[in-house]
Each structure stands twice: as C-alpha cells, then as structure tokens.
Amino acid sequence: MTTPVYQNFINGDFLKNQSGETFAVKNPATDEVIYHVEVADSFVQNAAIESAKQGFAVWSAMAPIERSRILLKAVALLRERNDLLAKIEVLDTGKPWQEAECVDVQTGADVIEYFAGLAPAQVGQQQMVGEDFFYTRKEPLGICAGIGAWNYPLQIACWKSGPALAAGNALIFKPSEETPLGAIKLAEIFTEAGVPAGVFNVVQGAAEVGQWLTHSPDIEKVSFTGEVGTGKKVVASAAGTLKDVTMELGGKSPLLVFEDADISQAVSAAMLGNFYTQGEICTNCTRIYVHKSVYQQFIDELKTRTEQNIVAGDPLDPSVNFGALISKNHHNLVMGYIEKGINEGATLLTGGKALRPESAPNGYFVAPTVFTDCTDDMTIVKEEIFGPVMSVLVFEDEDDVIRRANDTHLGLAAGVFTKDIKRAHRVIHQMQAGICWINSYGNSPAEMPVGGYKQSGIGRENGIETLDHYTQTKSIYVGMTDIESPF
Ligand code: NDP
C-alpha cells in the first residue's frame, strides 16, 4: 500500500518542492510509516518568504475586527473538525484518543479565539506635551517564524499563530519532523476561513529548515518551543539579525506536598503531572517533594493507583489512558534514564520497564515509573527526561524544601499542596518558576500567561501580554506650535 505524500503549504496552497526530498513519519504506537512529507528546499523557502511578504501587506492593512472575524471562522472550523484533527494527533504523537479528543484541538482553538477577541481591543496611547502631543500605534512586526515541538503539534501551531495573526503578522511555521500533519490541516482551515494567501505558511523539515528560519533576514521574530539546548542555538542564530524571540523550553518542575495536604488530591496532581501524555509535557512536576510525616501514605496511594488505574495500549482505543512515546530514540533515552536511576541508588517503586501492550505490541511504550528514596544529586532528579518517570523526595523543613526546589537552572513550573492558605502563597511566591499552581496542577487556560524563568524560557505565550510580543510600538510626535530653532 502506498502512503500519502504531503507537500509544503505555501501561499494558500500545496507547493511541490524541486529537490524531490521527502521524509517518513511513523505512528509511534505501531512503528509503521503512515505518510511522507516533502522537505522545504530553497525553492520552497524562497516562495514562503515571497508569499509571506505579499500576505502580510494584505493582512496588516485589514482592520483588526476584520481579521478577528476571519480568525473566529477558523476557530469554528477547528471545533467542527475536532475528531478528525484529534485522530491525526493520536496517530502522529502516540498519545491517547481520550486526551486528544477533549484537549489538543480545543485548547488550540481557545487560544485563537482569545486573541481574535483581543485584536480589536488593542489600543495605542495619546499624551499632551505642552501644546504638542504624541500618540502611539501598535504595529505588527512583519513576518514571524514559529518552530514547534512534537508533543502538542496542533496546539503549539495554534498558540503561535493565534497572537501572531491577530496582531496582523504573517507566520511561517515549522512543525517537528516527527509530527508535521496537524499544522498542514491548520493551514487548510485558515485558508478556508478567509486568511489571505501567504499569511500562514507551513514549511517542513528538520533542524536545517529551522536554522534557515532563524537566520533569514526577512523574518522579524522567532517563537520557539523545544529543548533548552536547541533554544540556545536558536537565540544565538537569531542574534545575527537581532530578531525578537519567544522561547518556550524545558523544565524540571517541583511539586511540594505539605503535611496538611489532601493526599489523594496531591497524588492525582503528581500522576497527571507525570503520566498525562505519557509524561511528554514540559511543565511536568517530575520532582515531588513530600513531607516526611505523609511520605508513606503518599507513596502507598501513588503505587496502588499507578498500578491499577493506568491503561496502556492502542491509543485510538477510548479506554486507553496511556500512550506510546514519540520515537524509538526517545524510548531508548527514557529507558537510559531509568537505568541511571537504578544505578545511582534510587528505589524503583513501580514501572521501570518497556511495555508491550497486546493491542499495540510494536509501540514505543514505557511503563509509568516512580522512583522513591531519591536525592537531589541524582541524574533523574536533575535532568529533564520528558517521559513517564517520577522522582519522589522527602523533606521536613519549609525553607529547606524551597531552597532545594529552586536549586536548578530551569524554572518553568512549580506547584504546592497545602490547606494552609498563608503557606500556599508564601511558598509559591518564593518559587523561581513562571507557571505555578496551588492545590492544582497542569491547567493552562488561554487567558493565563505561560513561560519560564531562568533557562526555561524567554517571553510568554497566552494571556493579554502576548499580543504585545507580536507588535511594536510606533511613537508619533505632533507639533502644534512653531519649531524653535537656533539655526
Ligand atoms: P527540540 O528542541 O529537539 O525541537 C524543537 C523544534 O526545533 C523542532 O521543530 C526541531 O526540528 C527544531 N530544531 C531542531 N534543531 C534546530 C535548530 N538548530 N534551529 C532551529 N530549529 C531546530 O525539542 P523536541 O521537539 O524534542 O521537544 C521536546 C522539548 O520541548 C522538551 O524539552 C520540552 O520540555 C520542550 N517543550 C516546551 C514547552 C513549553 O511551552 N515550555 C512545550 C512543549 C515542549 P525537528 O524536530 O524536525 O528536528
């Protein structure tokens, strides 16, 4: 059986490349090639820039409310096609249908809807200066680039295109080579909704295509989601043309469970924050610090629920709640971390092995894994694993656990479970992290800004402030009086 071959999406349509180069995309749950995609060669890259210039001229000249109406049509189409798009995400990423059906498309659509609503509300300022005055205009940046990771491919494309397009920019988006189809479907939807040709182009390929975007002198901003190491390379190359950057990078986030916490709720948060999307979420609370007096109760419940409630298998089966990791390579990487955890002396509470579920025997599954007796210096406690591997640590003193939780170069997220309202806020205010939860974990509504402290990122996505990251302020001074000149 031949598999489909997808082309790059440029200027409102598919564009064939000239090199003939393609790459294969596999379903992580079956290890089978499901389709091929053409690489964006220099012919496609040039076309992407030329059409984005033309698209930008048309789009940026439209009234914001007109752009808003078009984007809201796209939102409606996204919601209408939820199941079709969710299935693409399941086949590309290996995540369970149970999640994709109610999260991936909807949270993407929410963000476009949110920014479509905000666009007409963005205003400049006016101020008198004596009898003269000045005013400011919020103008779009021009052509922006988005580069996405593979864990939430369609959602990431929506989170970047929502504010970029609402503010009047054109966006050239490169999805991860592992998960390229969702962005193509989004491009088709934007086109159908009436977004002018060239305003949202999708270019396909691996690091080289990403590098081209970060170097191109025609691109004003790069919004990147991915690993810290790649993020540093992107910032370095964007510096060559002084591009604006937004960086959404990795984390190694702490969850603090105090002695007065609702333990069942804290276990729910720990499981969600380590096993949802089979552990492939940037904000995951992979370091769980539990107060000594409730430690045993916590790990007993955690072990029971992990062993009884997690159902791994064919991700399309609606009863499955735990999917396959993205690739064989990533599977091996995660298994390598588990081996390190064992070798460095952590106790394996549960999991720790590859899985071969009957309904998906060839998938890249790793059992939900919990290590206890962890210490702060262990590799599994220090490095982002991006898989279903949780490290549980003990603490006794509030100040000490805050110091330990902050003792990392990363600062994406943090959480605290306690019924003491003063302690909850006191502790969370001291967390060096950009996304924090009290008695909750993982929720990220369109209205809430998200982004990292320290090496977990630069700038924010979502929330009102993000629209500012896609505009530049023009100040205009108006002379109402005669110019005073010594010349
Ligand atoms: P990578 O950093 O490997 O890749 C991210 C994207 O960058 C991919 O599209 C990749 O292409 C591309 N790329 C690779 N090298 C370069 C380069 N030199 N220049 C420009 N682009 C390049 O991340 P992953 O895809 O492995 O995603 C997992 C990581 O993403 C984790 O660290 C996770 O924490 C982070 N993440 C952060 C989020 C946040 O909001 N903070 C959200 C989701 C994930 P290709 O893959 O095709 O090679």
Residues with CB under 6 A from ligand 1: 147-151, 174, 176-178, 206-207, 210-211, 214, 225-227, 230, 233-234, 248-251, 282, 384, 386, 412, 452, 457
Catalytic status, residue 16: no
Residue-wise pLDDT tens digits, 80-97: 999 999 999 999 999 999
Cα of 292 from ligand 1 centre, angstroms = 37
Q: What percent of the chain has pLDDT over 70?
A: 100
| Whole-number pLDDT of residue 204 | 98
Q: Are 273 and 252 in contact (CB under 8 A)?
A: no
C-alpha pair distances (Å), 154 with each of 78, 90, 174, 334:
10, 11, 11, 24
Ligand 1: atom nearest CA of 461 is: 40
Is 461 among the catalytic positions?
Answer: yes
Alpha helices in 295-361 (DSSP H): 295-309, 328-343
Res 1 pLDDT > 90: no
Query: Residue 8 pairs with which residues in a beta bridge?
Result: 15
Residue pair 261/282 in contact by the 8 Å Cβ criterion: no
Tens of pLDDT, residues 353-404: 999 999 999 999 999 999 999 999 999 999 999 999 999 999 999 999 999 9
Q: Is 248 a catalytic residue?
A: yes
Q: Are 170 and 247 in contact (CB under 8 A)?
A: no
> Looking at residues 258-270, what average pLDDT do you find?
98
> Residue whose CA is closest, atom 23 of ligand 1?
226
When pLDDT is averaged across residues 113-126 and rounded to a whole number, the result is 97
Ligand 1: nearest atom to the Cα of 149: 25
CA of 250 to the centre of ligand 1 (A): 9
User: Residue 123, Cβ neighbours under 10 Å: how many?
Assistant: 9
The yes-or-no verdict on residue 203 having pLDDT over 70 is yes
CA distance 20 to 22: 6
- Which backbone phi and psi does 181 adopt, to 5 degrees? -80, -35
pLDDT tens readout for residues 337-346: 999 999 999 9
The answer to whether the beta carbons of residues 170 and 55 sit under 8 Å apart is yes
pLDDT, position 372: 98
Residue 214's alpha-carbon distances to 16, 77, 175, 300, in angstroms, are: 23, 31, 14, 48
The catalytic residue among 26, 95, 138, 160 is 160
Question: Who contacts 426 (Cβ-Cβ below 8 Å, separation ≥6)?
Answer: none
Q: Pull the structure tokens for residue 389.
A: 């591997």
Tally of CB atoms within 10 A around 475: 11
Report yes or no on whether pTM surpasses 0.85: yes
Q: How long is the chain?
A: 487
d(CA 487, CA 467): 43
160 is catalytic: yes
d(CA 400, CA 358): 46
Kind of pairing between the strands at 347-350 and 369-372: antiparallel
User: What residue spans of 216-313 are helical by DSSP H?
Assistant: 228-239, 263-275, 295-309
Question: Strand, coil or helix: what is 432?
Answer: coil
At residue 439's C-alpha, the angle toward residues 148 and 160, to 5°, is 15
Counting Cβ atoms within 10 Å, is residue 464 exposed (0-12), middle (13-18) or buried (19+)? middle
Residue to substitute in 111, 225, 458 for testing ligand 1 pocket (most ligand atoms within 8 angstroms of CB): 225
- The C-alpha atoms of residue 201 and residue 173 are separated, in whole angstroms, by 6
With b for 16 or more beta-carbon neighbours within 10 A and e for fewer, the 58-82 pattern comes to ebbeeebeebbebbebbbebbeebb
Mutating to test ligand 1, I would choose from 107, 151, 214, 281 the residue with most ligand atoms within 8 A of its C-beta, which is: 151
pLDDT value at position 2? 84
Instruction: Encode 384-396: b = buried (16+ Cβ within 10 Å), e = exposed.
Output: bbbbbbbbbbbbe
What mean pLDDT is predicted for residues 118-124?
96
Which residues are paired to 453 by β-bridges?
411
Can you tell me the distance from the alpha carbon of 401 to that of 413, in angstroms, rounded to the nearest whole number?
A: 15
CA distances from 469 to 13, 155, 212, 271, 460 (A): 28, 19, 22, 34, 8
Give 239's contacts (C-beta < 8 A, 6+ positions apart).
none
Mean pLDDT on 394-418: 98
Q: In this predicted model, what pLDDT tens digit does every residue of 422-480 receive, in sequence order?
A: 999 999 999 999 999 999 999 999 999 999 999 999 999 999 999 999 999 999 999 99
pLDDT for 291-326, tens place per residue?
A: 999 999 999 999 999 999 999 999 999 999 999 999
